[in-house]
Amino acid sequence: MLVDEVVLKLAGGRGGNGALSFRREKFVPRGGPDGGNGGRGGSVVLVADRGRHTLAAYRYRPSYRAEAGGHGSGNNRQGRSGHDLLLRVPAGTAAYDDESGALLGDLVDDGSSLTVAPGGRGGRGNAVFRTPTNQAPRRTEPGEAGTARTVRLELRLLADVGLVGFPNAGKSSFIARVSAAKPRIADYPFTTLTPNLGLVRLGDDAEFVMADLPGLIPGASQGAGLGTRFLKHLSRTAFLVYFVDLSESSGRAPVADLEVLQREVALYGGNLPGKPAMVVGNKTDILTDDARSDALSDTAAAGGLPFFAVSAATGDGCAALVAELGARVAGFAARSDA
């Protein structure tokens, strides 16, 4: 099960207390102060790990605290610093302060890290407070508490191409045909309940990642159906593919379906409306009225969008579509690197 959002209560470790201690030394008042400082508390650190694909590990354990720092001691011994608590999350996870909504950081690259709850500073021991006029200070400081905050983690899938379409438009069949993904496929709505990722290989060293998102319905941008829960996963894609059922069996008009999909993406907002896109008409193998495909092609052309007609069931047209997607992903990557 894909768990793509969790709320965690996190706290850095408390710093250790400074020590009150005096050594025994001849001709030194009270032996002289030698209380060491407390150690710093550990921090809570998020670490991106491409080996993880869900936040499920944190669903039933929502509270974490890093290790406290050790207390200082005599002979100017400083307390041990607390160990940082490393929480591994999938690459593509964004961390938000749950109270203010502020973005704390975005962990996209594998191995990148973000300190979300710093540990507290250790208190100073009495040796630090020795002065010429105060040879035997009894002053010390307690360790500071670590930062405590409630953090919302939100996973957004890392994919190059996002497939957007109504339930049963054939997205799962298409991704199963062109990649090694094995999504659940059936002839009833909302067969796909979680996004599927597929790696599409174009050659020995060319590949891209495609995401098949659960089907949208009118009102999805306001939460209808699976709603905004999965629209957010489109934010990291380079391209959108509006996947439309051409067949008469859908009971809907392809042009009307495309308009609904584009409207829901526009209403969701963010960076989605400005993303490059194309239109794909599926199920040509059972299409009996070519006017449905022609109308969808004309609508796509009027909007400046490339159009492809394919059959995910038979594979007809899929090779040309994959080649075009691969070329566009490569072009986008080249512009990003420039």
Round to whole Å and give the CA distance between 132 and 126.
Answer: 14
Report the CATH fold assignment for 5-155. Answer: Spo0b-associated Gtp-binding Protein; Chain: A, (2.70.210)
Round to whole Å and give the CA distance between 15 and 120.
Answer: 5
pLDDT digit string (tens) for 68-112? 999 999 999 999 999 999 999 988 899 999 999 999 999 989 999
pLDDT digit string (tens) for 297-306? 999 999 999 9
| Helix-then-strand count for the chain, H and E | 5, 14
pLDDT score for 338: 45
Place of tokens 């509006």: 242
Give CB contacts under 8 A, 24+ apart, made by 109-113: 109/48, 110/48, 110/49, 110/50, 111/47, 111/48, 111/49, 112/47, 112/48, 113/45, 113/46, 113/47, 113/48, 113/86
Q: Find, among 144, 59, 132, 46, the residue nearest to 89 by Cα.
A: 46
- Which stretch of DSSP H or E encloses residue 228? helix 228-231
Residue 299 structure tokens: 């609508």
154 DSSP assignment: E
Residue 183's pLDDT band (boundaries 50, 70, 90)? very low
Provide the CA 98 distance to its chain's centre, in angstroms.
15
Q: Does domain 161-337 have CATH number 3.40.50.300?
A: yes
Provide the residue count of the chain.
338
User: Under 8 Å CB-to-CB from 165, ≥6 apart: which residues?
Assistant: 171, 215, 216, 242, 243, 244, 245, 257, 261
- The residue with greater pLDDT, 247 or 273, is 247
Question: DSSP assignment of 280-314, as one string?
Answer: EEE-GGG---HHHHHHHHHHHHHTT--EEE--TTT
Q: Find, among 336, 329, 337, the residue nearest to 162 by Cα.
A: 329
Amino acid at 199: L
Amino acid at 159: A
pTM higher than the cut 0.85: no
Q: Is pLDDT at 196 greater than 90 in this prediction?
A: no
Domain locations along the chain: 5-155, 161-337
User: Are 172 and 196 in contact, with CB atoms under 8 Å apart?
Assistant: yes
